[in-house]
Amino acid sequence: MEEYRDYVIFFLDILGFKEIIDNNKITVDEMLNKFDKAEYHLDYTKWINKREKDKFNWIGNEEKNYLQVSDSIILSFPIETPSGLFYTILDVMRLQANFAALHGIFLRGACTCGNLYHNGTTIFGPAMNKVVSMEKVAKYPRVIIPNKVITECSKYSSNQSYNYEAEKKDIIQCLKMDTDGYYYIDYISYDTFGHETDSNEEWAEYICKLKEQIKKGLYEQEALDKYMWLKKKYNNAINDNIIRNYKENCDITLSRIN
């Protein structure tokens, strides 16, 4: 007999998807290619195996579910998956960064935990209902992570030497606290996403591409509040120390958005 399980579920929405489709801004083949890349970035073990210097292994990764429907991307995994939340945050962080910088596509979403049934394309349950409503709370191009999810998932680590506090610390280091009290996945700052790139130069290249996408959105003034949020987070990330260090050590000029 099938029953609900205690799952963590992420619900991600592509901002402006209706306009992209209605105005034929992208071909079917191009959109399919982007969704293929999304599924790739949302599998940490595939991505990490490409970087041979890293030796991470997500135990139970085969239990992670992926579903894409129209402009929505859904991820779920059993709450007891060792370091499941930590690795999924890294997955989503890379997806947000790649979609934003390379394609000018921004994601908004949320996660929660609770009773869920998810098997292939069939998904329902109280946790699904809750995360759909939370996605609207996210409002800006961010993925919010409630304290409850962090607390519950910190009990399960893939590192045998880790306790609850150590796992929780790793999770929170990938996040930033926003002004409304929600943690969100930080795909901008050097101290979070910068550590997921292969070099200082690669992060600088990324941040410059992101800057151009933000400036384009500000100029076009569609969904302006969302681009104003991005501008603020970008400018906070490009602080005086970052600007000085990149100029002195890499001869790279970084600047804020006026």
252: left (phi over 0), alpha (psi -120 to 50) or beta: beta
Helix (H) or strand (E) holding 207: helix 200-220
Helix, strand or coil, per DSSP, at residue 3: coil
Q: DSSP state, 41? A: H
Convert the pLDDT of each residue in 70-109 to its tens digit: 788 899 999 999 999 999 999 899 889 988 887 788 999 9
Output the CATH code of domain 5-187: 3.30.70.1230
- Per domain, the residue ranges of the chain are 5-187, 203-250
Q: What is the pLDDT of residue 27?
A: 67
CB 9 within 8 A of CB 89: no
**What is the rounded CA–CA span in Å between residue 191 and residue 113?**
27
Residues 6+ apart with CB under 8 A from 18: 71
**Best CA proximity match to 87, nearest among 50, 133, 41:** 41
* Residue 35 binned pLDDT confidence (cut-offs 50, 70, 90): low
Q: What angle do helix axes 200-220 and 224-237 make, rounded to 10 degrees?
A: 150
Q: What is the pTM of this model?
A: 0.86
* Residue 44 binned pLDDT confidence (cut-offs 50, 70, 90): very low
